[in-house]
Structure 1
Amino acid sequence: MIELEQSRNQFPKEPIRLMSRVYKFILPDVRRELDGWRQEAASIPDPELRKQALASIKAKEFHCQGGSVYAAANLAKREILIPLIVAFQTISDYLDNLCDRSTSMDADDFRLLHQSMLDAVNPSSELQDYYALREESDDGGYLHHLVQTCRDNIEQLPGYRAAKPHILDLVGLYTDLQVYKHIDPSLREAALLRWWEQHSNRSPQLRWNEFAAATGSTLGVFMLFLAASNPELDDSSAEIIHDAYFPHVCGLHIMLDYLIDQEEDEVGGDLNFCSYYENKETMLNRIAFIVEGARRDIKRLPASSFHRMIIEGLLALYLSDPKVSEQQEIREVSRRLMKRSPLMRLFFFVNSRWIRKHL
């Protein structure tokens, strides 16, 4: 497999070097990008669309911060990678808000909205009226601008041809999940199970809820964006990256997200994939199984130490969330997962708390 972006030396190999790049370059650039999108969202004519666009940026800024860590592995291309990752993640968070707090439960509406994500990563496709199946539609060009920003930056990634089919696969699965998880609650579990049956051969080691969680992560897409910044990326290398991230790294990402959101989702009546386990012990064992799968899979990649930092960073980021201390059962699970934590994870744990408090 080729060395991504000329040599492994591009990838920070230890946590202190990674975090120095994050503080010096990544966080300021992400903030600058989000400030621009926040200003644009504030001028959206439709009040409901404006409300959800602003709320998604305010509440989910850390999604863009976390995703943009991949740009720390190629600082020379961060002026392409950070605007691309921030725009793509902002689409994801905005649409999630629109569907979660939707005035409809129309699967066709949700699919058309999320067609924007497929169009964002496929510059040859035609832009569409993504609001055509819902009442609120006047966003002043906000969603089209996000999509076009992704496409403009993708055009500057010299290895995108090889990455594109694998990115489309992941975004297609993501779109399916968003459709099925947001329909009428009385229909969604059956729809998700039917969908899982179509794809169960891809990840037979996972339960249906774990596969569904894996499809909800954007990390595989961001890693492929990074890989596409290398003009020598080939089909074989792109496939290896896809398979190293999906399903275990992606699954760990979203299972941790659902783990800390259980109480919030129960109050809001939202679907939570952690609620499908028989008991706390099973949930803990299954998450630990996914952690081990993620660690094993990334060993196939060059600069695997960088990807190991991603895994330990995920555990630290989510288990340091204030929501954990507010939920007794989750607090116990967190303690178990953090038990005998490597120093790397503890380092990221402290940094995650500092970033939340000061930035």
Structure 2
Amino acid sequence: MIELEQDRNQFPREPLRLMSRVYKFILPDVRRELEGWRKVAGEIPDPELRNQALASIQTKEFHCQGGAVYAAANLPKRHVLIPLIVAFQTISDYLDNLCDRSTSMNADDFRLLHQSMLDAVNPGAETRDYYALREEKDDGGYLHRLVQTCRDNIALLPGYDAAKPYIQDLVGLYTDLQVYKHIDPSLREDALIKWWDQHKELTPHLQWNEFAAATGSTLGVFMLFLAASNESLDESSAKTIRDAYFPHVCGLHIMLDYLIDQEEDEIGGDLNFCSYYDSKEVMLERIAYIVDGARQDIKKLPASSFHRMIIEGLLALYLSDPKVSEQQEIYDVSKRLMRRSPLMRLFFFANSMWIRKRL
């Protein structure tokens, strides 16, 4: 595997250096990008589309902040990486809101909406009317502008051709997940298990809900965006990155997200992958197993200390969420996951709480 040029000179290797870049560059740049999209979203003619677009930015800003941390590993390219990551994540969050609170349960509608994400990472594809199968249609060009912003910035990534097949694979799996998890609740579990059965050779050691969780993360895509910012990226290196992130790093990301959302999802009738374990003990064991897998996988990558910070940062970010203390069972699980935490995780835990207070 090639040593990417920025591996030696750009990747922050210590938590203090990483957080210095996050505070100085990443958070301000993300805030500016989101303010721009907030203004565009506020002008959407259809009231339902406008409400969901604004809500996704308001309540899921931390998704963009977390994703944009990858730009800290190549600051000279952050003017490309941050707009790309924010636009792509904003599509994801907006569509998730639309489908979660949808006036439709039409699988074809959900697939057409999420075709926008596939088109966003495939600059040669024709864009289309992504709202053609739903009642709410007039977004004033909002979704097309997000797609085009992704494409414009991808055009500035010199190594994108090598990363493209693996990005498309991950986005394809993500799209499948969003279709199956949002259909009629009486059909979705069977559909997800049947889908997993078609792909389980990719992750034979994971249960169906854990595979599904891994497909729901955008972190592998963001890491490949970062790698593509280097012209010397080749397809072998891109595959190594994909394999290091999927399924364990990606799976950890989404399992933690579902862990803290259990009460909220139960109230909303939304699917939650952490609810399929027989007990709290089993859930804890499986999450710990995925953490161990993630730590082993990232050792394959150059600058593995950066990716170890990503893993510890994920644990800190989610386990410091205020939702944790509001759910006794989740609080108990969180305490056990944080027990004997390395200093790095405690450092990120404190920083996560500080950032939330500033929002």
Give the TM-score band, short-chain normalised: over 0.9
> Residue type of the partner of 1:23?
Y
**Residue of structure 2 equivalent to 1:331:** 331
SS at the partner of 2:200?
helix
**Residue of structure 1 equivalent to 2:27:** 27
**Structure 1 residue 3, shift from structure 2 partner:** 1.7
Q: Please say if residues 44 and 138 of structure 1, whose CA atoms lie closer than 8 Å, have aligned partners that are also in contact.
A: yes
**Residue of structure 1 equivalent to 2:278:** 278
Q: Please say if residues 7 and 302 of structure 2, whose CA atoms lie closer than 8 Å, have aligned partners that are also in contact.
A: no
**Residue of structure 2 equivalent to 1:12:** 12
**Structure 1 residue 6, shift from structure 2 partner:** 4.0
SS at the partner of 1:104?
coil
Q: Please say if residues 174 and 215 of structure 2, whose CA atoms lie closer than 8 Å, have aligned partners that are also in contact.
A: yes
Q: Matches of 2:154 and 2:8 in 1, distance apart?
A: 23
**Structure 1 residue 7, shift from structure 2 partner:** 3.7
**Residue of structure 2 equivalent to 1:78:** 78
Q: Please say if residues 85 and 222 of structure 2, whose CA atoms lie closer than 8 Å, have aligned partners that are also in contact.
A: yes
Q: Matches of 2:9 and 2:35 in 1, distance apart?
A: 32
How many aligned residue pairs are there?
359
SS at the partner of 2:307?
helix
Over residues 257-311 of structure 1, what are the superposed CA-to-partner deviations in whole Å (9 max), with x where a residue is unaligned? 0000000000000000000000000000000000000000000000000000000
Over residues 16-73 of structure 1, what are the superposed CA-to-partner deviations in whole Å (9 max), with x where a residue is unaligned? 0000000000000000000000000000000000000000000000000000000000
**Residue of structure 1 equivalent to 2:316:** 316
Over residues 195-242 of structure 1, what are the superposed CA-to-partner deviations in whole Å (9 max), with x where a residue is unaligned? 000000000010000000000000000000000000000010000000
Task: Return 124-133 or 6-15, whichever deviates more.
Answer: 6-15
**Structure 1 residue 4, shift from structure 2 partner:** 2.1
Q: Matches of 2:45 and 2:290 in 1, distance apart?
A: 44
Q: Matches of 2:91 and 2:45 in 1, distance apart?
A: 18
**Residue of structure 2 equivalent to 1:138:** 138
**Structure 1 residue 2, shift from structure 2 partner:** 1.4
> Residue type of the partner of 2:322?
P
Q: Please say if residues 50 and 139 of structure 2, whose CA atoms lie closer than 8 Å, have aligned partners that are also in contact.
A: yes
Over residues 302-335 of structure 1, what are the superposed CA-to-partner deviations in whole Å (9 max), with x where a residue is unaligned? 0000000000000000000000000000000000
Is 1:222 the counterpart of 2:222 in the alignment?
Answer: yes
> Residue type of the partner of 2:67?
G
Is 1:171 the counterpart of 2:171 in the alignment?
Answer: yes
Q: Matches of 1:97 and 1:259 in 2, distance apart?
A: 19
Q: Matches of 1:28 and 1:134 in 2, distance apart?
A: 36
**Residue of structure 2 equivalent to 1:263:** 263
Q: TM-score of the superposition, structure 1-length normalised? A: 1.00
Over residues 158-182 of structure 1, what are the superposed CA-to-partner deviations in whole Å (9 max), with x where a residue is unaligned? 0000000000000000000000000
**Residue of structure 1 equivalent to 2:234:** 234
**Structure 1 residue 8, shift from structure 2 partner:** 2.0
Query: Which runs of no fewer than 5 residues in structure 2 stay unpaired?
Result: none
Q: Please say if residues 324 and 331 of structure 1, whose CA atoms lie closer than 8 Å, have aligned partners that are also in contact.
A: yes
**Residue of structure 2 equivalent to 1:349:** 349
**Residue of structure 1 equivalent to 2:211:** 211
Q: Matches of 2:194 and 2:283 in 1, distance apart?
A: 23
Q: TM-score of the superposition, structure 2-length normalised? A: 1.00
Q: Matches of 2:7 and 2:87 in 1, distance apart?
A: 28
Q: Matches of 1:4 and 1:316 in 2, distance apart?
A: 28
Q: CA RMSD in A?
A: 0.5
Q: Please say if residues 5 and 74 of structure 1, whose CA atoms lie closer than 8 Å, have aligned partners that are also in contact.
A: no
Q: Please say if residues 5 and 227 of structure 1, whose CA atoms lie closer than 8 Å, have aligned partners that are also in contact.
A: no
Q: Matches of 1:225 and 1:327 in 2, distance apart?
A: 36
SS at the partner of 1:202?
coil
Q: Matches of 1:295 and 1:124 in 2, distance apart?
A: 36
**Residue of structure 2 equivalent to 1:295:** 295
**Residue of structure 2 equivalent to 1:110:** 110
**Residue of structure 1 equivalent to 2:88:** 88
Q: Matches of 1:9 and 1:287 in 2, distance apart?
A: 33
Q: Matches of 1:332 and 1:103 in 2, distance apart?
A: 37
Q: Matches of 2:213 and 2:7 in 1, distance apart?
A: 33
Q: Matches of 1:32 and 1:25 in 2, distance apart?
A: 11
Q: Matches of 1:160 and 1:130 in 2, distance apart?
A: 25
> Residue type of the partner of 2:334?
S
> Residue type of the partner of 1:163?
A
Query: Which runs of no fewer than 5 residues in structure 1 stay unpaired?
Result: none
